[in-house]
Chain A
Amino acid sequence: MALAVAIVLLVIGSLVFHFLSPWYFTPIASNWSTIDFTVDVTFWVTGIVFVGINLFSAWAIVKYRHRKGHKAHYEPENKKLEIWLTVVTSVGVAAMLAPGLVVWGDFINVPENALRFEALGKQWHWSYRLPGDDGEFGATEVRHMSVDNPFGMDPEDPAGQDDILIADPVMHLPLGQPVHALLRSTDVLHNFTVPQFRVKMDLVPGMVTYQWFTPERTGTYEILCEELCGIGHFAMRGKVIVDEVGDWEEWLAQQPTFAETQARPVGDAAAGAANYAVCTACHGAQGEGLLALNAPKIAGQEDWYMRRQIANYLNGVRGSDPRDIFALQMAPMAIVLTNPTVRENVIAYIQTLPDEPPEQTIFGDVERGAELYTTCAFCHGAEAEGIWSTNAPRLAGMSDWYLARQLENFQQGIRGGHEADVYGDQMYMMANILKDEDAINDIIAYINTL
């Protein structure tokens, strides 16, 4: 009896939850409303069955509960009833399957006029490529991949020279244009999903997979990786920004081709020495950093990391949050590095500075720090040496007080909170694994031992 009541209440509760709860599909932003339709059909068919069978069994539980003198009916089989039920079930199943197969046919056949782009997944970042003026993607191979050629472009392939490379997790797409996303991974399985577009597909190393959709609403949408891809899986985020066609073309014109990325000026350390004079005041003549002026050590830091951070200061990604007072100081200083040649020269000069270990200012429980660092090691390296492919800078032998301050900033979103700072956003998520007060000191105490 209680069970019958419970079943009826659960059925009613499920319906109420379904119709009243605020958690349902995000508003669709692509052409795939047909997918939503198949989901609706399935909800109706299964919902009717769910309510029907459960209410019937609740009724049977009450009606045929044991009472004295009552005896069950003896009826081993009822062919007519069984056949009837089989037929009705088959019809219901067909009603769900048929639209499903039709829409699947639409999904796997890409329209002729679709704009092709490649989404490249690698632990734990997204980047993108467009075929350029010739409309053809250049060949790629894993063995060509390096910090200067992160897409693994074949340098000999003429078709690849005009490929447009977007080495950034944010992709722009034009409104109303069908797009054919070619999906490529260079390490493990990933999955390209934008919930508002409804479709998804895995990226599989060793092959190219695809999906297609037409963005039908402008705005910024998050890309989530939905195939477990290692420890950074949950922080592998990207963005799709859907622009009006004009805005999109403007954005596209600013993106470099492969040939342009390879033609970056080579830094001249001797020339850079003169420009570095401005930096000396805070960062020190040897780039050793100065705690009193809140300037971290920069000698020994990876060039690609400095390049990105200088760009961040120039673009306002860093140094625009009023809470980040030291970054506010750096932002105007970075303007002296606006010229790419000057910038490369200074970076080249910093590479020549002696890499002396700085004084230790942070102390903590090294053993616990080592345990916490296990997670960090995946991106920053077991020796905290920095890994270009995960976009994670060197930590060992750098200013420890600076690391502590940055971790605190990341935790509060002071750094990494800017919407264009997608790498910083990843570190924002990661810094929050340090949940207690001592964790930052412990982990830095451990990094100091590396």
Chain B
Amino acid sequence: MAYVAIADRDHHLHDPDTFITKYIWSQDHKVIAIQYGVVAIGVGLVALALSLLMRLQIGFPDVFPFMTPYNYYQFVTTHGMIMVIYLLTALFLGGFGNYLIPLMCGARDMVFPYMNMLSFWVYLLSVIVLIASFFVPGGATGAGWTLYPPQAVLEGTPGSDWGIVLMLVSLAIFIVAFTMGGLNYVTTVLQARCRGMTLMRMPLSVWGIFVATILGLLAFPALFVAAIMMVLDRLIGTSFFMPALLSLGETTATTGGSPILFQHLFWFFGHPEVYIVALPAFGIVSDLLSTHARKNIFGYRMMIWAIVAIGALSFVVWAHHMYVSGMNPYFGFFFATTTLIIAVPTAIKVYNWVLTLWRGDIHFTLPMLWATGFIFTFIHGGLTGLFLGNVTVDLPLSDTYFVIGHFHMVMGVSPVMVLFGAIYHWFPKITGRMANDVLGKIHFWMTFLGTYAIYLPMHYLGILGMPRRYYDYGQTDFIPESALGVNQGITIAAIVVATAQLIFLVNVAYSLWKGKRADPNPWRATTLEWQTPDTPPKHGNWGPKLPEVHRWAYDYSVPGDEEDFIPQNHPIKPGEESLRNAGVSRE
């Protein structure tokens, strides 16, 4: 039984009373969420700056003397790693997971608050170790974010002396942090929901975060062992991933190891990782669309099963990243089939988002702009995945700019659209003030149109055959001059998009300082976090008494009700019973 009676008496029992316990060594999930968010966005800005430096080189290869192949490959690597792990994973799960799970489930906090606090500080340590890798002899690793051995640990790669070690250690530390946070999220969802909050009444945001966390707990260990094994290869001369080699004229002492073993371990983590980022985005965007279209999410149960199915399938598709890796070619049949099957539940989610708009009452608020923008970017990124997931179609496209275009649309732009939508959506609850609408809209349009201008042409450069991870294309017969022009255009678009993110920072700062005071429930939403007695919610969230849930999270525009939303904690009204019996309502 999810309900814990003692929780009602918890009020004020453990309230922090000093500045340090309130804001620094805080065990309050909301403060930890903000700490996670600030660090993730901060390190994300570093990754954004690195991407601009890369783009300067690709767009204008003869102009910037500070861009050498050495630091180009370092920037490529660190940009990718930060964006995937230290920004997206941390912000969705450590940030929004932390903030939303207890509030949406009607809990006072995470079930293990102390471990939750540790999770953040260990995460911060992993970020510090990562950044430190730029300042050790040889600098950060330039092995590409996939860190494939033997390259990553051999001399031909920048940062092969210390950068790679720090990168691997940082990942291991991150995984420790994630595990502490992740166990917390899963246990909280399973154990600390308030009375009446059945699993099949939970908002999809919580479902997405919950399943993503389970994926993380199962997938990250593969990366963890791979990182440890590679550290051993690098430092004490084991040969897990290292056959007998000749490196820059010298034979190595290694023998018998398998480079492909690392790739299997990496992608056994790496593919679920895509969904660790995507599933929270799927969940959150479902709630944004439903709230701002004033309409229940279409096919709620199907949405949950789609999330669960995608999560399960994500563990049997990893080798679609390895079609041309030299693994047993017969694997191609299996992994192409599983990969294309995963398109079916994913497509169902897209249909249901669009069908949520259909016959809705769409309010084009700031969060809604981002959410509908996401539908467009995700359709694009998802469809190009059908090219790369299908083993034969992947042959000409693998390792080209098509891949860059695809994964940036599907797991860069799309989740980021949701992140910004989510930030603008929950900003009033988190800070007690509304975010500025005008700045937010400028931010949206520059980001939405700018990113498409960046990534659409990349697909075609990829079809043309331009390989990824090239510092310079030099004179290549099949690449026309005009392709360089495209790259210049892409770089300019990237600068525009980066500028838009500065507008976002200005907006946050300005709105914190001068934003309009927010109502407790400005979007007139049904979910529990909007029903707290205080805004922002105080420690313990609910005052003396925990909420009690009577209905699902999507009672918008219920026929016969004068309001167009009924919060989850409102009891069933007389007359609603008949609706339910007629099968109109979910419960």
Among B336, B386, B463, which residue has its beta carbon within 8 angstroms of that of A46?
Answer: B386
Interface size class of A (residues with CB under 8 A): 35 or more
Q: Are B246 and A145 in contact (CB under 8 A)?
A: yes
Instruction: Give chain A residues whose Cβ lies under 8 Å from the Cβ of B63.
Output: 435
Say yes or no for B442: interface residue by CB 8 A criterion.
no
- Known contacts being A46-B383, A200-B398, A204-B260, is A123 close to B390, with CB within 8 Å? no
Whether B68 lies near A35 (C-beta < 8 A) is no
| Number of A-B residue pairs having CB atoms within 8 Å of each other in the complex | 380
Q: Are B142 and A104 in contact (CB under 8 A)?
A: no
Docked pose: A137 CA to B243 CA in angstroms: 21
Contact of B246 among A78, A82, A122 (CB under 8 A): A122
Q: Which of B295, B343, B387, B473 contacts A89 (CB 8 A)?
A: B343
Task: Say whether, besides A35-B396, A152-B246, A372 and B68 are in contact (CB < 8 Å).
Answer: yes
Whole-angstrom distance from the CB of A127 to the nearest CB of chain B?
A: 13
A103 x B245 contact (CB < 8 A)? no
B249 neighbours in A (Cβ, 8 Å): 387-390
Which of the residues A71, A82, A228, A379 comes within 8 Å of B302, measured between beta carbons?
A: A82
Residues on the A chain within 8 Å of B69, using CB: 231-232, 234, 375, 430, 433
Q: Is B419's beta carbon under 8 Å from chain A?
A: no
Q: Is there contact, CB below 8 Å, between B73 and A53?
A: no
**A39 contacts B326, C-beta separation under 8 Å:** no
Among B143, B336, B376, B559, which residue has its beta carbon within 8 angstroms of that of A10? B376
Query: Which of the residues A57, A207, A439 comes within 8 Å of B375, measured between beta carbons?
Result: A57
Rounded to whole Å, the gap between the CB of B247 and the closest CB of chain A is: 5
Counting CB contacts under 8 A, is B351 at the interface? yes
Across the interface, do A196 and B474 meet the contact criterion of CB distance under 8 Å? no
A86 contacts across to B, CB distance below 8 A: 344, 348
In this assembly, does B469 line the interface, its C-beta being within 8 Å of a C-beta of chain A? yes
**Given A73-B557, A433-B69, is A205 in contact with B245 using a C-beta cutoff of 8 Å?**
yes
| A18–B156 alpha-carbon span in the complex (Å) | 39
CB–CB A231/B70 < 8 A: yes
Question: How many angstroms from the CA of A86 to the CA of B480 in the assembled complex?
Answer: 42
- Smallest CB–CB gap between B440 and chain A, Å? 14
Task: State which residues 549-580 of B face A: CB under 8 Å.
Answer: 554, 556-559, 564
* A-chain residues with CB within 8 Å of residue B259 when the two chains form the complex: 189, 204-206
CB within 8 Å for A53 and B564 given contacts A188-B150, A199-B395? no
Interface pick from A94-102, A161-169, A243-251, A356-364: A94-102
A391 to chain B, nearest CB (A): 10
Are B343 and A24 within 8 A (Cβ)? no
- Tell me, rounded to whole Å, the shortest Cβ–Cβ distance linking B344 to chain A: 5
Give the residue of B301, B324, B337 whose beta carbon is less than 8 angstroms from that of A202: B324
Q: Would you call B396 and A195 a contact (CB within 8 A)?
A: yes
- Are A74 and B557 in contact, CB atoms less than 8 angstroms apart? yes
Contact with A along B383-399 (1 / 0, CB 8 A): 11011001111011111
Smallest CB separation, A8 vs chain B (Å): 11
Does B158 touch A at the CB level, under 8 Å?
yes
**Complex Cα spacing A64 to B358, Å:** 7
Assuming the contacts A96-B386, A96-B390, asked whether A189 and B464 have C-beta atoms less than 8 A apart, the reply is: no
State which of A39, A50, A227, A433 has its C-beta within 8 Å of the C-beta of B380. Answer: A50
Q: Is the Cβ of B150 less than 8 Å from the Cβ of A205?
A: yes
* Residues of chain B from 392 to 432 with CB closer than 8 A to chain A in the complex: 392-393, 395-400
A106 CB → nearest B CB, Å: 9
Interface residues of B in 520-557 (CB under 8 A from A): 554, 556-557
The distance from the CB of A100 to the nearest CB of chain B, in whole angstroms, is 4
The stretch from B36-44, B87-95, B359-367 touching chain A is B359-367
The B-contacting residues of A in range 362-388, CB under 8 angstroms, are: 372, 374-375, 378-379, 387-388
The answer to whether A17 touches B456, judged by C-beta atoms less than 8 angstroms apart, is yes
B466-478 vs A, CB cutoff 8 Å, 1 = contact: the mask equals 0111111111111
Q: Is the CB–CB distance between B151 and A228 below 8 Å?
A: yes
For the complex, give the distance between the alpha carbons of A428 and B477 in Å. 15
Query: Once bound together, how far apart are the Cα atoms of A38 and B561, in whole Å?
Result: 53
Does A209 contact B326, Cβ atoms closer than 8 Å? yes
- Establish whether residues B325 and A42, one from each chain, have CB atoms under 8 Å apart when the complex forms: no
Judging by beta carbons under 8 Å apart, are B251 and A123 in contact?
Answer: no
Q: Which residues of B contact A231 (CB under 8 A)?
A: 69-70, 73, 142, 156-158
Asked if residues A429 and B392 are in contact (CB atoms below 8 Å), the reply is no
Q: Which residues of B contact A96 (CB under 8 A)?
A: 340, 386, 390, 393
Checking B70, B357, B483, B556 against A57 with a beta-carbon cut-off of 8 angstroms, the contacting residue is: B357
The one of A61, A77, A145 that contacts B357, using a Cβ cutoff of 8 Å = A61
Inter-subunit contact A6/B448 (CB<8 Å) = yes
| Given A104-B336, A123-B248, A234-B473; A26-B372 close (CB under 8 Å) | no
Residue contacts A-B, CB under 8 angstroms, 18 given = A6-B448, A35-B395, A60-B357, A65-B364, A66-B361, A71-B361, A72-B294, A76-B586, A89-B347, A93-B343, A187-B245, A188-B150, A188-B247, A229-B156, A231-B70, A387-B248, A390-B248, A430-B69
Shortest beta-carbon contacts, A-B, top 9 = A206-B243, A195-B465, A230-B156, A209-B326, A73-B359, A389-B249, A226-B399, A72-B295, A72-B557
